[in-house]
């Protein structure tokens, strides 16, 4: 089916000026490829600037031009779009009452509203790609992440071995995101979950590739000594055991999850995973306590967002390692309300049992859930240029909310008994089942 036939089958005609032109099809393909490069860049780009460049040169201009050529803007008058954009807008507005005296690094207010525009266009680009390609795009992106993550993991392990770090069992740094230990460890926690999706595929090459990726990710996570990814690896092994058709393999996976993983960690580092490096807990409690004290000084609107306001404990730290507390100290209860709206909106998109237990919406919900948990342990406020925060938070949130909008449209078409293209059948099946 051509792109114009898909649009005519799903939505009302006349979505774009010159809707059947190769220009619109090319821009849609550029936006699709831009998301592909953005996602893969987190695993392959040595510096975060590479991820940002991929976004600026592909997805951002494609989304902007598609919006300029579009006629029907009804999709932005939705609670999903509002929920996605309210928090960035609140944080940007809070710069208007921020005091430059408390800023360690200052940026102009226009800088933050530019970031709001970037996030809004990112959501629009995501919606427009899914509108044209449906679940097929999500399927292809997930498979690409499995393959790219495997390449990144193997390259990281080889580099780790060549540097003789195996003799000292230093924490592995990876080849991307400037070698940040915690963030790359979390990337492979997500990769372990993505591999479970590949294991469930019918094609044997993808199953073998995904099993290999799961093993590599678990090994990487153990060497990273990062706690939340260990929990994610445990969940991935349990999920892989659940979907495995072999009783022997299921038993081996349960043994790996419940015994081999923690005992191997104990043998390597002399401590159990969640007790290892216990000073990480005490430092975070001090950081959170300081951020909380700043919040209660201005609980309604906060002190206003500044680019950097370091927290002074025994030494300077850039943020409290908890995005909710960082939002609270800068934008108060207003910002926390916007965070709650996003979280509840994400939960609403997979509220039914059918949606939660279906691979694509369920896996993206798990991606967002673990990403939000990571944000509550490692991250700052989320109004930033493309960075690890986008992979943990903004990308899965956009996928959940944009897909929710398209579900509503497909339900309307299904109820009127219009024939749907195959890439949208998942939307219709899940939506109609959840409304029985």
Q: Within 10 A of 44 (CB to CB), how many other CB atoms are there?
A: 16
**Are the CB atoms for 320 and 290 separated by under 8 Å?**
yes
In the three-class reduction of DSSP (H, G, I as helix; E, B as strand; rest coil), residue 16 is classed as strand
Give the whole-angstrom CA distance, residue 188 versus residue 43: 9
Q: What is the pLDDT of residue 427?
A: 60
Distance CA 168, CA 268 (A): 10
pLDDT band with cut points at 50, 70 and 90 for residue 329: very high
Q: What average pLDDT does range 308-320 have in this prediction?
A: 77
Residue 309 — very low, low, confident or very high, per pLDDT cuts 50/70/90?
Answer: confident
> Which pLDDT tens digit goes with each residue over 15-54?
888 777 899 999 999 999 999 999 999 999 999 999 999 9
Q: Output the pLDDT for position 253.
A: 78
Query: CA-CA distance, 62 to 54, in Å (whole number)?
Result: 12
Measure the CA–CA gap between 53 and 386, rounded to whole angstroms.
Answer: 9
User: What's the pLDDT at 422?
Assistant: 56
Cα–Cα dist 191/178, whole Å: 18
The Cα 206–Cα 198 span in angstroms is: 6
CB 326 within 8 A of CB 320: yes
The secondary element (H helix, E strand) that includes residue 203 is none
Q: What are phi and psi of 270, to 5 degrees?
A: 70, 20
Q: How is residue 271 annotated by DSSP?
A: S
Q: What is the pLDDT of residues 167-210, one digit of tens each?
A: 677 889 999 999 999 999 999 999 999 999 999 998 999 999 99
Asked if residue 218 lies in contact with residue 240, where contact means CB atoms within 8 angstroms, the answer is no
pLDDT one-digit tens code per residue, 80-116: 999 999 999 999 999 999 888 777 778 899 999 999 9
pLDDT in tens, 117-142: 999 999 999 999 999 998 999 999 99
The residue among 247, 224, 229, 133 whose CA lies nearest residue 173 is 224
């Amino acid at each position: 089916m051509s792109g114009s036939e898909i649009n005519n089958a799903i939505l009302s005609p006349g979505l774009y000026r010159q809707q059947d032109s190769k220009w619109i099809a090319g821009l849609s393909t550029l936006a699709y490829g831009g998301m592909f490069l953005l996602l893969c860049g987190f695993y392959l780009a040595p510096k975060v600037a590479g991820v940002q460049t991929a976004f600026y040169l592909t997805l951002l201009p494609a989304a902007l031009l598609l919006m300029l050529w579009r006629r029907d803007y009804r999709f932005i008058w939705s609670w999903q779009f509002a929920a996605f954009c309210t928090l960035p807008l609140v944080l940007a507005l809070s710069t208007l009452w921020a005091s430059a005296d408390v800023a360690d690094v200052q940026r102009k207010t226009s800088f933050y509203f530019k970031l709001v525009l970037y996030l809004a266009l990112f959501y629009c680009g995501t919606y427009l790609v899914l509108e044209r390609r449906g679940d097929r795009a999500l399927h292809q992106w997930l498979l690409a992440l499995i393959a790219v993550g495997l390449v990144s993991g193997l390259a990281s392990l080889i580099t780790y071995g060549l540097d003789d770090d195996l003799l000292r069992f230093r924490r592995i740094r990876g080849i991307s995101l400037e070698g940040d230990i915690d963030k790359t460890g979390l990337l492979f926690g997500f990769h372990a979950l993505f591999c479970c999706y590949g294991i469930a595929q019918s094609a044997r090459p993808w199953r073998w590739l995904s099993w290999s990726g799961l093993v590599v990710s678990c090994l990487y996570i153990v060497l990273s000594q990062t706690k939340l990814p260990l929990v994610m690896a445990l969940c991935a092994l349990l999920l892989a055991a659940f979907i495995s058709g072999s009783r022997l393999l299921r038993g081996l996976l349960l043994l790996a999850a419940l015994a081999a993983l923690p005992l191997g960690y104990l043998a390597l580092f002399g401590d159990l995973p969640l007790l290892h490096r216990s000073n990480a807990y005490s430092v975070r409690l001090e950081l959170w306590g300081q951020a909380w004290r700043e919040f209660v000084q201005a609980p309604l609107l906060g002190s206003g967002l500044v680019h950097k306001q370091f927290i002074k404990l025994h030494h300077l730290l850039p943020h409290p390692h908890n995005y909710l507390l960082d939002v609270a100290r800068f934008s108060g209860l207003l910002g926390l309300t916007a965070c709650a709206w996003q979280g509840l909106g994400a939960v609403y998109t997979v509220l039914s049992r059918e949606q939660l237990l279906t691979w694509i919406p369920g896996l993206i919900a798990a991606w967002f859930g673990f990403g939000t948990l990571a944000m509550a342990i490692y991250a700052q406020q989320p109004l930033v240029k493309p960075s690890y925060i986008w992979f943990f938070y903004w990308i899965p949130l956009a996928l959940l909310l944009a897909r929710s909008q398209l579900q509503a449209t497909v339900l309307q078409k299904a109820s009127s008994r219009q024939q749907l293209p195959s890439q949208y059948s998942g939307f219709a099946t899940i939506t109609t089942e959840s409304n029985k």
